[in-house]
Amino acid sequence: MITISKIDFKNKTIDNVECSYGNVKDIKLSMVRNTFCVNVVYNDGESISTEVKKPKEDTIDNIIEVDLNNTQEEQMNISCSIEEEPKEEEQQHEVPNEEPKEEEQQHEAPKEEVELKELKEEQGQDKEPKMTIEELKEILTEKIEKRNTALSYYRTIKQAVDYFETYEIYALLQNEQEIIYFIEDRYKTSLSSISSKLCGVLKCYTVLNVESKLLKGRIQHFKTLLKVKQEADKEKVMDKKTIEEGEEILEHCKNEMDKLGEKIKNDIQLLNTWDITVQMYCVLKTYLDIGNLRGDEVVDMKILDTEDKINYINVKTNQIIIKNHKTEKSQGTRTIDIEDKKLLNILKKDWVNI
């Protein structure tokens, strides 16, 4: 007879095991889920197994007796163990109870997504933004204080638009790496040009609130290269022109200006179309007789008879008004008087007095 005392199913423990026979080779005890198992092995190889189910109520069975029906009095070897079922098996049995909920959520989610998508479509939120190059030009001139800078950025992105033949700006800006390749190849002979052009492209990303992942790194790269080059250039011997060579260049420009002046005098119709001949004469006359002006001060300069916010030539007051220039914050608006009558008459398109 084997007596097992106090089986606690909740804590998976027993209090005591007693055996009154001696021909038992081994006794194995195990607990799998809610069943307590007893396996008795005899010396002759036979075995007897029995199971005890957990009662519906959490109680502790005080005594369980197992009759072995043997009378031999041999020394026995008893090994007792209470084995818990692996937690993975418990989870495998418990998961099915929760799976239906997850499946229900998976079936419900698409419905919510569809409803949200339909709502966005009704409100027009799901549509991708569209923008033309001219609309971008307006935004740049509005948000950038200096008009010349804004137009420079516009011309840079316009080059990319024409090259890639992508006329929708948001679609173009998705090809950030390709734009960088284009700029670097187009201006490969000038580090400063590459840096400034990439800055212009980055500004377009910024004003449109489009994320840029590559431009800042490339701009910094070329700024570093430019700095190294500038340091190297300082060590080189400056190749300056001699006074004699400078005078030769000046004399050549004056001769060319005189030739252009005679051509305009002989063909007054050139003024009607503002021919390149007229433009070149005015530029040479300005630089030779008035002074050296920066290129960005002359670009987009207008000829007017009234005041304006940009750089312009006032043919009524005979003055060049430069409002946008490099030192405008410290020097303010620059005013240059035009004293040459022939230049003034050409600017006024006064055919009689040219």
Residue 71's pLDDT is: 36
The model's pLDDT over 185-240, given as tens digits with 9 standing for 90+, comes to 999 889 889 999 999 999 999 999 999 999 999 999 998 888 888 877 776 656 66
Residue 22's pLDDT is: 58
Say yes or no to pLDDT of 348 above 90.
Answer: no
Q: Dihedral of CA 28/29/32/35: which sign?
A: positive
The model's pLDDT over 15-53, given as tens digits with 9 standing for 90+, comes to 776 666 557 777 777 777 777 777 777 777 777 777 777
User: Which tokens belong to 202?
Assistant: 């980055």
User: Which tokens belong to 250?
Assistant: 């000046």
Identify the weakest region by mean pLDDT among 124-128, 288-292, 306-310.
124-128
Q: How far does the chain reach from its first CA to its final CA, in angstroms?
A: 139
Say yes or no to pLDDT of 102 above 50.
Answer: no
| Helices then strands, each counted (H, E), the chain | 13, 10
Residue 72's pLDDT is: 38
Q: Is the CB of residue 27 less than 8 Å from the CB of residue 16?
A: no
pTM over 0.75: no
Q: Give the count of beta carbons closer than 10 Å to the beta carbon of residue 153.
A: 23
Instruction: Please compute the mean of the pLDDT values over residues 255-263 and round it to a whole number.
Output: 91
Q: Is the CB of residue 305 less than 8 Å from the CB of residue 314?
A: yes
When mean pLDDT is compared over 27-36, 84-93, 113-122, 206-215, the highest value belongs to 206-215
What does the alpha-carbon distance between residue 29 and residue 81 come to, in Å, rounded to a whole number?
5
